[in-house]
């Protein structure tokens, strides 16, 4: 008897569980890096030449939800094939990141510590020196990065759906051109406010004009070291836990969420979330932090975990765990956005009056910076997908990022971005959807929706379908279409807030 769709589906779900545990072990610092190749090499049943024809035959006559499930499974099998082909090189790159060191100023510095040093070094010449060292050491892995990209392209071509861009669009229905168009519109809608606030920020913090700002300056600003200590992970969990219990969405989720607290994180560790089995076993890593970026990252990962843990267990695997990651990102962003909400920040961080208003405005500015960088990255990924000389695109990367963000970027830094996987498109869609969802919550339950018990029922209805619907469908139901308007309006309004109310 030949392979069946049910066998493929069961094996895919087990593989997802093993992959989630492996990546979580690395994020938790229990392993130096995730080892993916052993996982992929044991999955002969999921080889595309064995599994995809089985799914395609069933798909030819399927209708309704079964057809949608099979389409999801087909897309996952295609992605699995490409990642399996790249697993060995991905492991090699992860090992390099985890173990490489660089000599600087008389000491050997782990490469993975450099981003943190850049963000936390207040002295600008010293910070620039760390950034230069990082850019230089990235040059060492140019051959490896190009090998990873080439293997990714080769494995995609083997699927027979076209290049990677065409494959994504054919198998998922995602219009990359449509997302890019909304991204460009977002740049236009936010440009005046962003540039004005950028000029004031650079003058206030560095005494610089926009022409002199560099990428490492943005990293230091984003770190917001002057706010260290206003809250810690334990206090944040206490406040958020009270709010979630009040609206009927307790963080424990009846034991489905496992909070793992790692007291001694290794360099580069951050809060993280992995779903071993949706919705029954969700792991959230909590690392000690008193930094605002660390606290907001924890909020995002909790939002991701809540989405998985409150997905209906009655759904098929494809609707629980596969599908449009933009929907998952939207809930992560919704919860992360509490770290910019005046009323929640007042309670959790203890900021008041003008200090609160300044915080909210600056947090919105930093989010604008990040989102504008996403749009530039998407533009780069689209151009990269059509280039037969990817190693020569450093100047184009630096040009795009510098123009859109206002911070000059090093041409060598694009080496860390070589991937051409278009994940940034899904993240930007998630941000747009989150803004529409937040608008619904605030419109129905006021700005303090996170303490209103009536919002809990709304959110349960939102979470129960899991990934059944894509972001475009959900955006259509929420606001008549998935656009950047709510996102641009909410951030520009926050940037300009000054009254602390």
**Residues 428-476: tens digit of each pLDDT:** 999 999 999 999 999 999 999 999 999 999 999 999 999 999 999 999 9
What pLDDT, in 10s, does the model give residues 139-179?
888 899 999 999 999 999 999 999 989 999 999 989 999 99
What pLDDT, in 10s, does the model give residues 49-92?
999 999 999 999 999 999 999 999 999 999 999 999 999 999 99
Q: How far apart, in Å, are the Cα atoms of 421 and each of 230, 323, 332, 417, 425?
A: 37, 16, 20, 10, 9
In the predicted model, is pLDDT for residue 500 greater than 50? no
Which residue in the block uniquely carries the two structure tokens 């770190």? 223
What pLDDT, in 10s, does the model give residues 229-287?
999 999 999 999 999 999 999 999 999 999 988 776 666 678 889 999 999 999 999 98
**Would strands 281-286 and 272-277 be described as parallel, antiparallel, or unpaired?**
antiparallel
Answer for the pair 280, 313: CB distance below 8 angstroms, yes or no: yes
Identify the band that residue 425 occupies on the pLDDT scale cut at 50, 70 and 90.
Answer: very high
What pLDDT, in 10s, does the model give residues 196-227?
999 999 999 999 888 899 999 999 999 999 99
Q: Name the DSSP class of 265.
A: P
Mean pLDDT estimate for the chain: 93
User: Counting Cβ atoms within 10 Å, is residue 146 exposed (0-12), middle (13-18) or buried (19+)?
Assistant: middle
Q: How far apart, in Å, are the Cα atoms of 349 and each of 11, 52, 107?
A: 45, 51, 37
Domain positions in the chain are 5-172, 176-230+241-247+325-496
Containing H/E element for 281? strand 281-286
Q: How far apart, in Å, are the Cα atoms of 158 and each of 10, 162, 167?
A: 24, 9, 11
Residue 159: its pLDDT value, please? 94
Containing H/E element for 273? strand 272-277
Q: Which DSSP string corresponds to 15-64? A: HHHHHHHHHHHHHTTSSSS---HHHHHT-GGG-HHHHHHHHHHHHHH--H
Which residue in the block uniquely carries the two structure tokens 């795009």? 400
User: On the CB side of 320, how many CA atoms lie within 13 Å of its CA?
Assistant: 23
For 102, list phi and psi in degrees, rounded to 5.
-140, 140
Answer for the pair 315, 468: CB distance below 8 angstroms, yes or no: yes
What pLDDT, in 10s, does the model give residues 296-340?
999 999 999 999 999 999 999 999 999 999 999 999 999 999 999
Q: What is the mean pLDDT of residues 375-391?
A: 94
Which residue in the block uniquely carries the two structure tokens 């770290």? 339
Distance, first Cα to last Cα, the chain: 68
Containing H/E element for 463? helix 453-463
In the predicted model, is pLDDT for residue 420 greater than 80? no
Angle at CA 206, nearest 5°, toward 201 and 207? 90
Q: Which DSSP string corresponds to 182-208? A: HHHHHHHHHHHHHHHHHHHHHHHHHS-
Cα–Cα distance measured from residue 429 to residue 178, given in angstroms and rounded to the nearest whole number: 10
Which residue in the block uniquely carries the two structure tokens 């419109």? 443
How is residue 325 written in tokens? 């990651």
How is residue 289 written in tokens? 């932090």
How is residue 284 written in tokens? 């959230």
Closest CA to 372 of 351, 414, 402: 402
Cα–Cα distance measured from residue 339 to residue 335, given in angstroms and rounded to the nearest whole number: 8
């Amino acid at each position: 008897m030949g392979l069946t769709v049910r066998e493929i589906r069961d094996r895919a779900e087990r593989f997802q569980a093993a992959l989630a545990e492996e990546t979580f072990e690395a994020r938790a610092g229990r392993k130096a890096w995730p080892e993916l190749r052993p996982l992929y090499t044991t999955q002969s049943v999921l080889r595309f030449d064995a599994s995809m024809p089985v799914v395609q035959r069933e798909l030819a006559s399927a209708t309704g939800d079964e057809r949608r499930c099979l389409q999801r499974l087909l897309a996952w099998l295609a992605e699995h094939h490409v990642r399996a082909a790249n697993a060995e090189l991905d492991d090699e790159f992860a090992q390099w990141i985890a173990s490489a060191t660089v000599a600087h100023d008389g000491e050997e510095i782990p490469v993975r510590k450099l981003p943190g040093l850049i963000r936390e070094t207040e002295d600008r010449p010293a910070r620039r020196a760390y950034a230069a060292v990082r850019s230089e050491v990235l040059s060492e892995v140019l051959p490896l990065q190009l090998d990873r990209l080439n293997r990714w392209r080769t494995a995609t071509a083997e699927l027979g759906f076209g290049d990677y861009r065409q494959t994504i669009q054919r198998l998922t229905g995602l219009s990359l051109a449509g997302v890019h168009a909304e991204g460009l519109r977002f740049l236009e809608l936010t440009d005046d406010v962003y540039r004005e606030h950028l000029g004031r920020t650079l003058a206030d913090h560095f005494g610089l004009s926009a022409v002199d700002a560099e990428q490492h300056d943005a990293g230091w600003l984003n770190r917001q070291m002057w706010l260290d200590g206003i809250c810690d992970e334990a206090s944040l969990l206490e406040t958020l836990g009270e709010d979630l219990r009040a609206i009927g969405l307790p963080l424990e989720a009846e034991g489905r969420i496992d909070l793992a607290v790692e007291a001694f994180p290794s360099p580069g560790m951050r809060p993280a979330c992995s779903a071993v089995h949706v919705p029954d076993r969700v792991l959230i890593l909590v690392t000690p932090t008193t930094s605002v970026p660390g606290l907001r990252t924890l909020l995002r990962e909790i939002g991701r975990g809540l989405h998985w843990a409150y997905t209906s267990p009655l759904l098929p695997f494809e609707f629980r765990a596969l599908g449009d990651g933009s929907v998952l990102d939207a809930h992560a962003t919704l919860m992360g956005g509490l770290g910019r909400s005046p009323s929640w920040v007042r309670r959790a961080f203890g900021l008041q009056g003008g200090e609160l208003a300044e915080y909210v405005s600056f947090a919105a500015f930093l989010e604008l910076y990040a989102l504008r960088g996403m749009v530039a990255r998407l533009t780069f990924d689209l151009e990269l997908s059509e280039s037969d000389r990817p190693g020569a695109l450093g100047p184009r990367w630096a040009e795009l990022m510098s123009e859109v963000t206002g911070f000059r970027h090093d041409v060598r830094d694009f080496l860390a971005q070589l991937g051409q996987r278009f994940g940034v498109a899904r993240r930007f869609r998630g941000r747009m959807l989150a803004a529409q969802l937040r608008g619904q919550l605030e419109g129905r339950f006021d700005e303090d929706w996170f303490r209103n018990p009536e919002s809990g029922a709304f959110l349960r209805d939102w979470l129960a379908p899991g990934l059944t619907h894509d972001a475009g469908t959900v955006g259509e139901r929420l606001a008549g279409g998935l656009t950047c308007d709510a996102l641009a309006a909410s951030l520009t309004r926050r940037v300009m807030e000054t009254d602390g109310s």
